[in-house]
Structure 1
């Protein structure tokens, strides 16, 4: 799993986690099970003794190739994209895990072989038990998509452009960015809007009520029925969040502390407190590709925010690979390009908790946090509370 290099990056047969995978990982999950089901202690946090048990995901070490993307539904079923690469060709496959199954199986794959130096740009959107969308190409928009509603037994080519509107993001659906004005010079997007991937068809539909933000508006988190999106405040031009508490029917703006404009934002929760990580380019750190600009904290459901950490040259964590881990024990962990950093004072200071170099990339699913190693070896860990983890392996690492 490679680190983010910005729009249009990637060379050789490098396994590129495209923007789709990043967006999808941010949008899904975010500890809905933990927040809804677990009790809290007198301080509002879930105690370690009450922490949720992580899902049991079987290993699939015999699957061919290396895992490129993995996603799960709330019932524990899931999909994985695999790439088996030689010197001149990568064969792309799909693995399927059905609810209660003790092993992964190979499903059919709509993805063509990749030759030359094009790299792997496939992404995965899990839309519920047995339902998924595969995207191919950079995001947004994908070049092609395929949908399955029968656990990977068959796929049909789906839409890449929106086909109408929707008033809400349906249960199982996913909120995604849809570029309405490309930026050709920057090989990116100058203006975007939000769309929902429909869970029963894989169609894209524009959200009828858009958040009151300007610029590039992208999803920043999904906690239960509450959706978070990142963009710029129309009046101040500062980074801002828009929050919907009814699955996208209506929005309110959540003012953020003033800070540098970044690429995106990721909102996570420990069941009580919210944290927002600002991702972006560090102007004074040339050796950092996945910069961490700031961390904000909210104790009132995102109505108000306090900036608890801000980038300073040379101060770690300078980078963040995916989402921060807001754990049930009150700690906040950041996986960066130069190691793993842990805070026990609400994100105000960090100390190293693992060795140097990238240790893994963190995303979120309906089952909780998903950690994948940074070197394509197929080692994964999953946790419903950020404290207790289970490990599983996928693919042979080739």
Structure 2
């Protein structure tokens, strides 16, 4: 993770300028670990995870810095709208391997044949980004600015958010009803909902029932501090990363009974760490990356150490019951911070990690976590988009999806990809 990102984290927490660059690694991390940049509303299954940006409900067009320039001349099969500043594909969501929703320029499109053909579609959600946190479901968040906001609690927050859901392939959307009565488990077809708007927010996990469009607190909360849900498929269970309250070390909590009970395991880092990025597709084999202070930071003038932290990789092959440290030779680069969705697990258990914030993206793979090699998965683009905070690759059993400015990429196994241009009608 770059020092600049660590300072960004510190500034976010402290509300003031970051300390000088020669602050010790432990000093930087102690503050940054309290509040990562992933301050967001997190929709996480029991389905596929998607992350809405901190300005929940804002479209990607309001965050132009997040979009790369096109890698080359536009594909003639794509018809961009003249009034769109990017002029290409900037949003792609799949509720399953047949129903897909895309935005090309100002046009909203829908496909009912896996992306082979597309039709114009009227998005009636009223929100910004569309997401699919669980199979067969579309969601969005509508932001309403509070004109009475003046910083005084009596006049309410700066904005109000209304969550909306569709279970009929986007034909209709309903408002989600928020309730206070706790539920024992995440309903079948539902997912964890996690809302964090400030560092002091306790951020309780809630269960969303798509059939009833209801949001309720989960009775058994993951036993972690600073907990964040990982984006994993519905069949993989519920995975949450955070900090063990007793030791203050990074830990992973897993539930394979839809949140009724949790198994917590502390990762043997020896030091407090910045977050954790879990990737799994089958709920059995999983990897997590955590960032720990670099003992050599900031180094000397002759031998500088520009990175305030280094990455440690852990692997489980028993559904989170036990974790062992992998990649003993540190062959997976850790010069940048990994976020949820920056890594995924292929059908055969191969761990695939990317550097989505660099262009072209750098890819690293390992079959068992022992050693990583550089190399892009066959047929996958090198300038993938990640709408808002969406992961660059959505991984579900038997269905992997990604996109760039010009086309979608799909794969049955996460290793061999097919490029499919989006053909606007």
Sort the TM-score into its range (normalised by shorter chain). 0.5 to 0.7
1:70 to 92, 100, 104: 92
Higher mean C-alpha displacement, 309-318 vs 168-177: 309-318
Aligned residue in 2 for 1:200: 211
Q: CA deviation at 1:210?
A: 1.1
Which has the larger strand fraction?
1
Equivalent-residue separation in structure 1 for 2:305 and 2:160 (angstroms): 30
- Look up the match of 1:49: none
Q: Distance in 2 between the 1:311 and 1:267 partners? A: 20
Partner SS state of residue 319, structure 2: coil
Task: Please say if residues 269 and 275 of structure 1, whose CA atoms lie closer than 8 Å, have aligned partners that are also in contact.
Answer: no
Gap change, CA 1:97 and 1:249, over 3 Å in 2: farther
- CA distance in 2 between counterparts of 1:98 and 1:385 reads 21
Alignment of 1:94-109 (within 5 A): 94-98=108-112, 102-109=116-123
Matched, 1:359 2:399: no
Seen in structure 2, the aligned counterparts of structure 1 residues 61 and 27 have a Cα distance that, compared at 3 Å, is farther
Aligned positions, number: 326
Once residues 46 and 39 of structure 2 are traced to their aligned partners in structure 1, the CA distance between those partners, rounded to angstroms, is 12
1:253: how far off? 1.0
- Matched residues in 1 for 2:104 and 2:291: separation? 28
Aligned equivalent of 1:305: 323
Check the 8 A contact 1:333/1:342 in 2, yes or no.
yes
CA distance in 2: counterparts of 1:343 and 1:274, whole angstroms: 14
Match of 1:276 in 2: 288
How far the C-alpha of 1:18 sits from its partner, in A, is 8.6
CA distance in 1, matches of 2:222, 2:277: 15
Deviations 1:31-77 (A, max 9, x none): xxxxxxxxxxxxxxxxxxxxxxxxxxxxx945755444433234532
1:165 to 182, 191, 200: 182
How do 1:115-130 residues align onto structure 2 when only pairs under 5 Å count? 122-129=129-136
| Alignment partner, residue 232 of structure 2 | 221
2: distance between equivalents of 1:144 and 1:288? 40
Give the CA deviation at 1:176: 2.3
3-state secondary structure, aligned to 1:224: helix
Task: Indicate conservation of the 8 Å contact 2:195/2:204, yes or no.
Answer: yes
Q: 1:148 to 1:230 in 2, by over 3 A?
A: same
Alignment partners' CA distance in 2, 1:281 and 1:106:
50
Gaps of 5+ in 2: 13-36, 50-76, 82-86, 145-158, 299-303, 385-391
CA distance in 2, matches of 1:232, 1:18: 15
CA displacement 1:267-307 (0-9 Å, x = unmatched): 31478632123379998799999x98332111222111112
Q: Output the aligned Cα RMSD.
A: 4.5
Match of 1:132 in 2: 138
Structure 1 distance, partners of 2:337, 2:246, is 29
Pick which of 62-71 and 259-268 moved more.
62-71
Q: Take 2:418 and 2:160, find their aligned partners in 1: how far apart are those partners?
A: 33
Verify the 8 A CA contact 1:219 1:230 in the aligned structure 2: yes
CA distance in 1, matches of 2:191, 2:399: 16
For the residues of structure 2 that align with 1:298 and 1:149, how far apart are their CA atoms? 34
The CA distance in 2 between the partners of 1:335 and 1:101, in whole Å, is 25
Is the CA contact 2:239–2:253 (under 8 Å) kept in the aligned structure 1?
yes
- Structure 1 residues 75 and 168, CA gap change in structure 2 (3 angstroms): farther
